[in-house]
Amino acid sequence: MSAPEPLRVLVMGAVKHDYILHGMAAHPRYELLAVTDDEAAPDWAHARNAATAAALGLSYLPGVSAALDRFQPQVACVTPEVPRHAALTVQAAEAGLHIVQDKPLALALADCDRIVAAVERAGVRFLMWSRNTFPTIQQAKAVLASGDLGEPYATHVDFYFAKDAGALLGSGEPEEVEVSWDGLGELTLEGIYPLAYLHELLGVTVRRVFARTTAHFFQRHADRGVEDLGSVTLEMANGLVGSLCIGRIGEPSHPNIGELRLHILGTKGAFVVAEPRPEVSVYARGLKPGDYRQRRVGLDYERRLLDNFAAAVETGADTMLTARDSRAIAATVLAAIESGQTGRPVEVSSLATS
């Protein structure tokens, strides 16, 4: 049998995570056509778009409507700066394009709801970029499905990642914050990953949260009143309870990628999932202080995510993380941020089933 025709992809904003684009470029089911963006995007975004397009061997055509007319794509890959996610994703859905979007879904629930409505009205497939295809997550899912743990009733996630974000708090080091930095806290930017794991493994929604948040590590977070560290308790459907500890802790705090673990307790047993594994430990001369000693292997999660999306486009099935799923995660994050600011538990806003 002949191979299916590749899905034709228009990149709408190439400002943030180019690993999504490189994953598509390397996948035989996708053909990157060009990069476009809103003509009113800031100058630095146009420059970043043009540079990313050139690195991928693509043209850059400002003006989304003109690019849609010229290239006739089937798929939009939406990766601008976070505040412009909603506008470009809604525009893509209204043009009838299937969508792969960078995280988070949007910064306000009203914009999240606009995305869900546009995607479902158009009947297109939507995939939020995540890491749910990691081997450890899928193996944990198989264990849960087997029933060996019984009925899950409690969970905890550590999601501490050892990435720097400029000058450490109180260091007095001068810092010029890059113009592309969104000035957002880590719950907004990274909370989708641990919450997506819980969605993938347990399939339940969060109903209420209580959070404590702070700027503990980085000066830029403290200066802007956003968190780089937080703890969140989760009250979920079916009586399930959980907790999440999340933070951008910086390279000085951890010798490797960070502490990324999930704990799930069931009525028959429990397990711990070390998210980065499998890994290989490397101890050798010539390593720099910031080099990771533990290195992930066998991941290829981008390809598996894109396999999932292509299958959804072909069959009409849901993707691994739909717009509605992503809206539920965004609502949990926004509730946690509000709780951290007010010191009170916050109910998570739900979206009516259509």
Question: How many structural domains does the chain have?
Answer: 2
| Beta-carbon contacts of residue 161 (< 8 Å; ≥ 6 apart) | 190, 247, 248, 249, 257, 258, 260
φ/ψ of residue 197, rounded to 5 = -60, -45
Residue closest to 265 by CA, chosen among 321, 212, 201, 191? 201
Same domain? For 45 and 161 the reply is no
Tell me what pLDDT residue 193 has: 96
Q: Going by DSSP bridges, is the β-strand pair 126-128/60-62 parallel, antiparallel, or unpaired?
A: unpaired
Report the SS3 class of residue 269.
coil
Q: 124, 152, 182 — which closes off a domain?
A: 124
Q: For 272-306, how does the pLDDT look when each residue is reduced to its tens digit (9 = 90+)?
A: 999 888 888 888 888 887 777 777 776 688 899 99
- Confirm whether 101 is domain-assigned: yes
Burial class (CB in 10 A: 0-12, 13-18, 19+), 288: exposed
The token duo for 172 is: 């007095």
Q: How far is CA 99 from CA 8, 27, 82, in A?
A: 11, 16, 16
| pLDDT at position 346 | 98
163 plus 279 within the same structural domain? yes
Residues 331 and 214 in one domain: yes
Distance CA 205, CA 254 (A): 32
Contact 241, 234 (CB under 8 A): yes
On whether residue 354 sits in a domain, the answer given is: no
Residues 100 and 144 in one domain: no
On whether residue 311 sits in a domain, the answer given is no
- Are residues 177 and 268 both part of a single domain? yes
The predicted pLDDT at position 1 comes to 59
More confident position, 328 or 351: 328
Q: Are residues 74 and 166 in the same domain?
A: no
Which tens digit of pLDDT belongs to each residue from 167-226?
A: 999 999 998 888 888 899 999 999 999 999 999 999 999 999 999 999 999 999 999 999
Clarify whether residues 200 and 330 are in a common domain: yes
Specify whether 158 is located in the same domain as 119: no
pLDDT tens-place string over residues 222-236: 999 999 999 999 999
Of 42, 39, 30, 36, nearest to 6 (Cα)? Answer: 30
147 and 271 part of one domain: yes
Question: What is the model's pTM?
Answer: 0.94
* CATH number of 79's domain: 3.40.50.720
pLDDT for residue 269: 96
Q: Give Cβ neighbours of residue 347 (< 8 Å, ≥ 6 apart).
A: 207, 208, 335
Work out the burial of residue 13: count CB atoms within 10 Å of its CB; fewer than 13 is exposed, 13-18 middle, 19 or more buried: buried
- Cα of first residue to Cα of last residue in the chain, in angstroms, is 39
- Asked if residue 70 and residue 16 are part of one domain, the reply reads yes
Digit-coded pLDDT (tens) for 78-113: 999 999 999 999 999 999 999 999 999 999 999 999
Say how far apart CA 261 and CA 194 lie, in whole Å: 9
> What residues make up the domain containing 284?
135-299+322-347
- Same domain, residue pair 294 and 159: yes
Look at residue 196 and tell me if it is in a domain. yes
What does the pLDDT read at residue 288?
Answer: 81
Tell me what pLDDT residue 352 has.
67
Tell me, what's the pLDDT at 3? 73
pLDDT, tens digit, 9 for 90 and up, residues 327-344: 999 999 999 999 999 999
Mean pLDDT confidence for 248-261: 87
Residues 138-142, mean pLDDT to the nearest whole number = 94
pLDDT of residue 298: 64
Residues 30-77: pLDDT tens digits? 999 999 999 999 999 999 999 999 999 999 999 999 999 999 999 999
Structure tokens at 128: 């939020």
| Residue length of the chain | 354
Is the same domain home to 140 and 286? yes
Closest CA to 92 of 43, 36, 166, 29: 36
